[in-house]
Amino acid sequence: MSLRALLTIAAVPVLLAGTALTADAANPAVAPGGNFDLGIWQLQEPVGSPGSPTTISSARLQGANGFQDSYFYTDSKDGAMTFWAPEKGVTTPNSNFARSELREMNRSGSAANWSLAGNHKLSATLRVVSVTSNVCVGQVHLGTGGSSTKPLLELYYHSNGDIVLGTENSPDGGQTAHTVGHVAVGKTWSYVIGVSGNTINLTVNGTTTHHSIPSSFNAYKQYFKAGSYNQSSSSSTTKGARVAFYGLTVSHS
């Protein structure tokens, strides 16, 4: 079987060990849902009414003719699932920053909401095409269990190439930064965000670091997010963060 055939089984990108994902791995002529399994994701975009960004359901995202627009689309050259978040855009009530970002869902259409117990992984292969300051490309966010609207962790890419993990100190806020890698803008890299009990296991380009989760988070359930959550704001609609994904998978056990 050819490499192209292996990579495009079920029209879902698969990253083979030691193999770079190339333009042959995805079809640039279809919507992101034709190359990626988007049945467990909902999209939030930087448009809509103030404090209420537009969301696109899993059902609308799926398939070769699924949803795409200028904020979420397939790159016409390499087939990457691309997210664009300008510095000026509609934001959620608890953020000053715009985003084009996927939120984890269940296959049934309900919102994902899993406990810290077990093993949970978000794996991605991506490149930051452009960024003004820094951009969050992956999150574990707090779900039900309390009143906090904070993330458990955020993975940031900075314009100088630094990859930084931000771990929340408590559900009340405060974040500790850990530099976990460095990749030049425009270069492809990978991450695996793993949560197992009260430990975060983060792998960036094959190097793994471990970070403890404070017990104050035990009451909360969680969900994954991925995309372009821009971390700078201005009046500009042309400056921002553009992030291209070549692989994106979730697993729970």
Domain that includes residue 18, residue range: 3-252
Residue 21: band (very low, low, confident or very high) from pLDDT cuts 50, 70, 90: very low
Average pLDDT over residues 32-50: 97
pTM, rounded to two decimals = 0.90
Q: Provide mean pLDDT across the span 56-62.
A: 98
Mean local confidence (pLDDT), 87-95: 94
- The whole-number average pLDDT for the span 161-176 is 97
CATH number of the domain enclosing 51: 2.60.120.200
91: three-class secondary structure by DSSP? coil
pLDDT greater than 50 at residue 18: no
Q: Give the number of domains in the chain.
A: 1
Closest CA to 250 of 127, 119, 155: 119
pLDDT value for 16: 31
pLDDT in tens, 204-216: 999 999 999 999 9
Confidence of residue 24 (pLDDT cuts 50, 70, 90): very low
